[in-house]
Amino acid sequence: MTLKSIPLTDDLHRYLVAHGSPPDEIVSDLARETLTLLPEEASMQVAPEQAAFLTFLTRLLGARQAVEVGTFTGLSSLAIARGLADGGRLTCFDISTEYTAIARRYWARAGIDDRIDLRIGPAGETLRELSHDRYLDFAFIDADKTGYPIYWAELVPRMRPGGVIAVDNVLRDGRVLAPQSEADRAIAAFNDDVLADVRVDAVMLPIADGLTLAYVR
């Protein structure tokens, strides 16, 4: 028994990934291509166990209407789309046609491109184009960190009661305890705001760089 999450060595991380829906060939190829083509940016890609968790969570929710803010090369969107219920749709928001061109290729290869609507432009603006009804089952936020409060403000009112918002990078590699950059400070403040938001019940999990799950009342 332990009172906190145990640290993950490289060997233990490999064991964890191998025993929880390990990556298939498409996921492995996407991760490899991202690292090869974009070595400096590859850390923006979700961890393999996080991708498996996103599929599991989307499927558990029976999600039909989902949103992703921050798509990069498409691993998280691939994972979410694979978990959607029949007829489900994922709307992705990103600013890069370069990165998402890679995503489009892998969505097509996985046979889930017909489930995804990609919108290019600043998400703070393009999110406002969504219906104002409370219709979203699931949302995933993983874009520029200073924009999190804006994305949160647009998404929470559009979530159905019982819908879930997942927010990535909420621990900032531990720097939320002593913020060193504008992004660190933005996330630390955002975490406090989520905790105080009476519209949701939230839990912060030590998955990858920290993942907040918020259940919308």
Local confidence pLDDT in tens for the 217 residues of the chain: 667 898 899 999 999 989 988 899 999 999 999 999 999 999 999 999 999 999 999 999 999 999 999 999 999 999 999 999 999 999 999 999 999 999 999 999 999 999 999 999 999 999 999 999 999 999 999 999 999 999 999 999 999 999 999 999 999 999 999 999 999 999 999 999 999 999 999 999 999 999 999 999 9
Say what the pTM is: 0.96
pLDDT of amino acid 1: 61
**Cα separation of 161 and 3, whole Å?**
32
pLDDT of amino acid 4: 87
Asked whether 35 and 73 are in contact (CB, 8 A), the reply is no
- Comparing CA positions, the residue from 169, 197, 155 lying closest to residue 65 is 155
**Cα separation of 142 and 76, whole Å?**
9
User: Domains in the chain and their CATH numbers?
Assistant: 22-216 (3.40.50.150)
